[in-house]
Amino acid sequence: MQMTLVKAGFHSDQAIYNYLAAKIICPLIYVAIFIFTKMVYNFQTEVIISILVLLVLGFFTPNLWVFLMTKTRQEKILKGLPDALDLMVVCVESGLGIDMTLKRVGDEMLPLCKDLSDEFTLTTLEVRAGMSREAAFKNMNTRIGLSEMNSLTAVLTQTSRFGTSLAKALRIHADSMRIKRRQLAEAVAAKSTVKMVFPLVLFIFPSIFVVLIGPGALKIIKYLLPVLGGGG
């Protein structure tokens, strides 16, 4: 549960207690609002069932909120990762090591993506505190929960272990991430045609029908119906 909250961006020790308190308070609030609106009625069977449904809904509301916060945080990190890779390439080519590169990139990414900046800074602090670089990278992967970040840390670990060119590996990884992001954008664009069908049918087509058929229908009501009525 605490790791789930960490993925959503809540690192404090008090977060888990707030989360558990929310799981208790939310059902009580939902039920209290429902009872307040039903004070003039007797507690019939459907009222009791509604209270039970609201209790379950309130209990799972914090879970849904944490899930949405996690997805939002992961999307922000995923969007900021290509820029961070470009900065890492520049830092490595200027002669900085991996630890100083992470620190510098974390400082530079603070205005662009605070979540990614916090993760790089926390990883640097863990390494400074005596933790091995592989363990710090593993903790960062666990906190973020993105396959793209796992790939990045794997590249950093392999280059550090085997002594290969870090700048070249980062540049190749950055290019592959851009290609992947472009492919995702193309996939979303391809789905937009299908998604536009329902707004067209529900909102745009009725307006077009009113504009095209409306004047003719008014003339029929004004001239033809009285004639037909008189003839009858």
* pLDDT of res. 182: 82
Higher pLDDT, 16 or 228: 16
Domain match, 134 and 39 both: no
- The enclosing H or E element of 120 equals helix 114-128
pLDDT at 173: 80
| Within-domain flag for 125 | yes
- 141 and 105 within one domain: yes
Summarize the confidence of residues 98-106 as an average pLDDT. Answer: 87
Is residue 80 located within the same domain as residue 67? no
Residues 89 and 68 in one domain: no
Residue 40 confidence (pLDDT): 58
pLDDT per residue over 134-160, tens digit each? 888 888 888 888 888 888 888 888 877
- 28-45 per-position pLDDT tens digit: 888 888 777 776 556 566
**Residues 141 and 222 both lie in one domain:** no
Q: What is the pLDDT of residue 22?
A: 87
Rounded Cα gap, residues 230 and 222, in angstroms: 13
Per-residue pLDDT band for 232 (boundaries 50, 70, 90) equals very low
Question: Residue 42: what pLDDT?
Answer: 60
Q: C-alpha 51: how far from its chain's center?
A: 31
Q: Are 48 and 88 members of one domain?
A: no
Residue 197 lies in a domain: no
Higher-confidence residue of 224 and 171: namely: 171
- 167 vs 138, more confident: 138
Pairwise CA distance, residues 145 & 162, whole Å = 26
Give the pLDDT confidence score for residue 203 in this predicted structure. 83
> What per-residue confidence (pLDDT) applies to 191?
83
Q: Domain boundary residue among 56, 75, 94?
A: 75
Q: Are residues 139 and 170 in the same domain?
A: yes
- What is the pLDDT at residue 228? 66
pTM attached to this predicted model: 0.68
Q: Render 126-174 in DSSP notation, one character per residue.
A: HHHTT--HHHHHHHHHHHH--HHHHHHHHHHHHHHHH---HHHHHHHHH
Contact 155, 173 (CB under 8 A): yes
pLDDT, tens only, 51-88:
788 888 888 888 898 999 999 998 888 888 888 888 88
pLDDT for position 101: 86
| Phi and psi, residue 27, nearest 5° | -60, -40
Task: Report the domain count for the chain.
Answer: 3
Does a structural domain hold residue 156?
A: yes
How is 45-99 classified by DSSP, letter by letter?
Answer: HHHHHHHHHHHHHHHHHHHHHHHHHHHHHHHHHHHHHHHHHHHHHHHHHTT--HH
| Same domain assignment for residues 187 and 110 | yes
The answer to the question of residue 134 being in a domain is yes
Domain range enclosing 222: 202-231
Q: Are residues 88 and 169 in the same domain?
A: yes
